[in-house]
Every structure is written in C-alpha cells, then in structure tokens.
Amino acid sequence: MLTLICNTNTTLCAGCPENVVITLLDWSSYTATAGDELTCSSDGYPAPTYKWTVGGVDSSTTSTQALQEGDHEYECTATVTYNGQTCSETDTLTVIAYSKYQKQYNTFEAVLMLIALSVV
C-alpha cells in the first residue's frame, strides 16, 4: 500500500518508501570481501535520503555502504520528508565479509584439498 503525503494547496504529493532493498554491487563470487559495497534503493518520492547502521552503530548517509571485515548486520533506512512530514522504511541484511588475505587463503586451501583428492 502506497502512503501519500499531499499538500492540499497544490497538486504535489509524496510517496513514503515501501520497497527498501539492500543489494551487493559486485556479487562476482560467493564470498563477500571487506570493501565491497552494499547499495540501498527505495521507491519513495521525492528521492529518499538514506542512513546506514552497522551492528547498531551509525555509519554512511549515502545510498552505499562499504562492507566491514567480519560478521555484521547492515541496516538501511530510507526517509522521505515532504511538507514538514517524514516517513521511513528499513531493510536489514547480515553479511560475513572476509579480508582480502582471508579470501586468498580460502582459495589456496580449496586448491590444496582438490589436489589431495585427485591423488587418492
């Protein structure tokens, strides 16, 4: 259901964000790496502002958020303000991001395991 905030003196209306979605920009592998970016998008009108929290701590105020190393909960809130009224919607995503070193180590370990299996 789309919620509208309308100014009765004009024909302009604002729509509250309802479909807030967090996506990972570069999903080229199944392993997220620290520094990869999450993007938050919404259908609010006019264009919403964004606020990220990472593990409950305030972070970015843009539509993107860089992944931090480790297991974190990322929460994005999209907010529309129009004619003095505000409405918002939130989406949450939990991601485990490895350091670039850890990702290389995991790949190296997988290669060693495959070599060991092929010898048997």
Which helix (H) or strand (E) element contains residue 112? helix 100-119
pLDDT cut 70: percent of the chain above it: 68
Query: For residues 7 and 25, is the Cβ–Cβ distance under 8 A?
Result: no
Q: Of 99, 97, 17, 19, nearest to 54 (Cα)?
A: 97
Confidence of residue 1 (pLDDT cuts 50, 70, 90): very low
Residue with the bigger pLDDT between 73 and 11: it is 73
pTM, 2 dp: 0.72
Domains of the chain: 4-119 (2.60.40)
Distance CA 74, CA 82 (A): 26
Q: Please count the other Cβ atoms lying within 10 Å of the Cβ belonging to residue 69.
A: 16
